[in-house]
């Protein structure tokens, strides 16, 4: 696990400025505190910070091929490197280390960009080919590892995080207002955009080529290409159990101890059970984070699985006193990001890092097997659609706005309000994303200033969702929605949060559900194997019968969230008032101060729950102070 950076000068005869790549890579010390490496040749510099996991003594980067014509830096792990390595050795390649990522430089030398399809792992990489004067950069299929790039008058810049690119003074910091609209709609920015107009994020399963001062981006894998086929329930469950077992086994590859994030839900419980099976009696360390608020606390379920597996279980509690963390993490993230579970994710990572360097997680299970409320909401909406005209839905939404939300995490009142608001406030053709967006068009007309609205007149904030749904194609409606979530919500929210918050503590996280064999197996299964008669993750539960307690398998999906709506009324209210004061809102010139005040007043008095919008506005203001002023 590392952080990587790269510079390619427009004029390859011009040396990279002294200290330039070093300043970039030093911003990524948290991603790799163990050592630093760099190579600087005419017109090109590559560098990395290393978190040593495999071949602790001999795995330094950058790595080069035998004749020194190809150079590489990489972030992540290649789980099938041994088989790829043996194939390359048979073709005459000579390896100098045991480190997994050395297969990248020889694989590129042997097969060119097509080598990417042979890799199973999580990675971001950059390869410089001095023979063709070409830089290739790529990300793994699901997008577990990040990679950003920017073109400037001087050339191309690459970095694992935006902060590395911003270390160069020639990078323009102009705000991308369409990206800001995405953030306020979804709580994150969707690739390839970033909040900066001049910086782009390479999408998952894509590679970039930079040659003759031109950038081209290409897709090398797509879950939409997987053909759905018929399965019996038993055959599907057996195949899934075996594939997950192989994924867990391969992802426990390390020369350091490996632990597991354990929420007590189905996905993390699956990983914990399979890990314990692979350890031959050695105790796995498990890590959980809970809350004093009972409706948010899942620690009892985590303890149940920990006891079943015999893990060495360690847990902590998230408290409302997150002022210092708010300031630290919002700035660390480099661009606005408002998924409130970033706080417990950071805290459980910080706790785990005291004991291990690597953890496995259950990320990806919901997007592959239908774990979210939004899928059921869409199914219900499809049945309702012909019975309730739009005017009736809007009238019901207005009526429910007068019903105060409860302090609970979900509950009947809150779920009903959210369901109807999604029906009334978002277009039907974004399907389940009606319940995964947080600012309707009507709300934007009240909140956004005329300047902001005018800047968005030709943009469509929902187009990335529509595009993903179209690309999935086919007649399987659930698989289409799962595909959109794999490409957008998982890649740009969940995996961004997990990568940045764990790497902020120098902890590597791995997700066995995102093994390519598991993903392709999941998308070969029809939707009725994933949600059947309202039961979510049907096939995953079938695969786990007798291995995970029924009390866990029958639990409803809770989600890794925090009581932010309650904290904004009490402990965090002063921070909210400070960040969203009329003076600060006026300085930005993007939001209407009167509407922001109205949202705060309604929220603090309990008349409405505006936590998603208010927290997003708080994040944007603090980010803007750090990056725009």
Which residues are the active-site residues? 2
The neighbouring-strand residues paired with 312 are 285
Instruction: Give 303's DSSP letter.
Output: H
Q: What angle do CA 314, 319, 322 make, to 5 degrees?
A: 115
Sequence-separated (6 or more) residues with CB below 8 Å from residue 124: 4, 74, 75, 76, 137, 138, 139, 140, 145, 146, 147, 160, 202
> Any idea of the CA torsion for 519, 520, 524, 529, to the nearest 10 degrees?
-20
- Cβ neighbours of 399 (radius 10 Å): 10
Question: What region, left, alpha or beta, does residue 155 occupy, with left being phi > 0 and alpha being psi -120 to 50 degrees?
Answer: left
Residue tagged 């785990």 (tokens): 352
Listed residue (349, 347, 366, 367) closest to 358, CA to CA: 349
The neighbouring-strand residues paired with 243 are none
Sequence-separated (6 or more) residues with CB below 8 Å from residue 44: 6, 7, 8, 9, 12, 16, 71, 128, 130, 135
* Distances, alpha carbon 235 to alpha carbons 238, 330, 371, 521, 539, in Å: 5, 46, 21, 12, 10
Whole-angstrom Cα Rg for the chain: 24
In this structure, the chain runs to a length of 629
- Burial of residue 57 (CB within 10 Å: 0-12, 13-18, 19+) is exposed
Contact 343, 324 (CB under 8 A): no
Sequence-separated (6 or more) residues with CB below 8 Å from residue 271: 248, 260, 360, 361, 362, 512, 513
* C-alpha 491: how far from chain center: 4
Listed residue (227, 298, 311, 231) closest to 271, CA to CA: 311
Listed residue (195, 197, 186) closest to 444, CA to CA: 186
* Distances, alpha carbon 122 to alpha carbons 80, 113, 126, 324, in Å: 11, 17, 14, 31
Contact 575, 326 (CB under 8 A): yes
Rounded Cα distance, 167 and 25, in Å: 9
Listed residue (509, 468, 508) closest to 485, CA to CA: 468
* C-alpha 599: how far from chain center: 29
Strand locations in 451-590, DSSP E?
A: 508-510, 531-532, 535-536
């Amino acid at each position: 696990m590392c952080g990587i950076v790269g510079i390619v000068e427009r004029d390859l005869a011009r040396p990279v400025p002294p200290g330039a790549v070093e300043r970039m890579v030093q911003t990524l010390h948290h991603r790799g505190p163990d050592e630093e490496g760099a190579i600087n040749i005419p017109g090109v510099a590559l560098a990395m910070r290393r978190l040593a996991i495999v071949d602790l003594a001999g795995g330094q980067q950058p790595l080069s091929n035998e004749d020194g014509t190809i150079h590489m830096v990489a972030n992540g792990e290649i789980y099938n490197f041994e088989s790829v390595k043996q194939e390359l050795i048979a073709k005459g390649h000579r390896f100098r280390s045991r480190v997994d990522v050395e297969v990248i430089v020889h694989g590129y030398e042997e097969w060119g960009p097509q080598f990417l399809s042979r890799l199973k792992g999580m990675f971001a990489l950059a390869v410089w080919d001095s023979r063709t004067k070409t830089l290739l950069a790529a990300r793994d299929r699901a997008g577990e590892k990040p990679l950003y790039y920017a073109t400037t008058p001087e050339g191309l810049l690459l970095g694992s995080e935006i902060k590395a690119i911003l270390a160069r003074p020639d990078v323009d910091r102009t705000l991308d207002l369409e990206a800001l609209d995405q953030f306020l709609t979804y709580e994150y920015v969707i690739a390839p955009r970033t909040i900066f107009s001049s910086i782009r994020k390479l999408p998952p399963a894509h590679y970039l080529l930079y040659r003759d001062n031109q950038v081209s981006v290409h897709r090398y894998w797509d879950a939409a290409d997987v053909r759905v086929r018929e399965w019996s329930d038993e055959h599907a469950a057996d195949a899934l159990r075996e594939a997950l077992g192989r994924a867990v086994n391969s992802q426990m590859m390390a020369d350091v101890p490996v632990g597991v994030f354990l929420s007590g839900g189905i996905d993390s419980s699956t990983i914990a059970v399979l890990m314990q099976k692979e350890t031959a009696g050695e105790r796995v360390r498990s890590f959980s984070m809970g809350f004093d608020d009972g409706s948010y606390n899942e620690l009892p379920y985590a303890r149940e699985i920990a006891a079943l597996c015999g893990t060495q279980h360690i847990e902590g509690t998230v408290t409302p006193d997150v002022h210092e963390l708010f300031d630290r993490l919002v700035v660390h993230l480099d661009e606005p990001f408002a998924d409130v579970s970033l706080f417990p994710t950071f805290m459980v990572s910080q706790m785990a890092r005291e004991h291990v360097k690597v953890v496995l997680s259950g990320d990806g299970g919901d997007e592959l097997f239908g774990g979210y409320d939004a899928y059921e909401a869409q199914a219900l909406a499809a049945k309702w659609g012909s019975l309730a005209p739009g005017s009736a839905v809007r009238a019901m939404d207005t009526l429910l706005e007068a019903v105060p939300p409860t302090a609970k995490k979900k509950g009947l009142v809150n779920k009903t309000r959210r369901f109807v608001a999604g029906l009334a406030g978002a277009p039907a053709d974004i399907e389940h994303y009606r319940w995964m967006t947080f600012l309707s068009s009507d709300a934007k007309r009240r909140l956004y200033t005329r300047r902001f609205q005018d800047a968005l007149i030709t943009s469509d904030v929902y187009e990335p969702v529509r595009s993903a749904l179209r690309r999935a194609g086919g007649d399987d409606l659930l698989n289409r929605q799962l595909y959109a979530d794999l490409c957008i919500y998982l890649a740009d929210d969940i995996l961004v949060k997990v990568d940045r918050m764990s790497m902020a503590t120098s902890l590597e996280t791995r997700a066995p559900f995102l093994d390519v064999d598991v993903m392709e197996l999941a998308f070969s299964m029809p939707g009725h194997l994933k949600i059947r008669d309202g039961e979510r993750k049907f096939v995953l539960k079938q695969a786990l019968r007798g291995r995970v307690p029924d009390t866990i398998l029958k639990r409803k999906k809770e989600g890794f969230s925090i009581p932010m709506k309650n904290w904004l009324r009490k402990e965090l209210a002063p921070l909210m008032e400070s960040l969203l004061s009329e003076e600060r809102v006026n300085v930005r010139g993007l939001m209407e101060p009167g509407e922001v005040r109205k949202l705060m007043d309604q929220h603090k008095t309990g008349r409405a729950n505006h936590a998603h919008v208010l927290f997003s506005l708080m994040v944007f203001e603090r980010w803007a102070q750090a990056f725009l002023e």
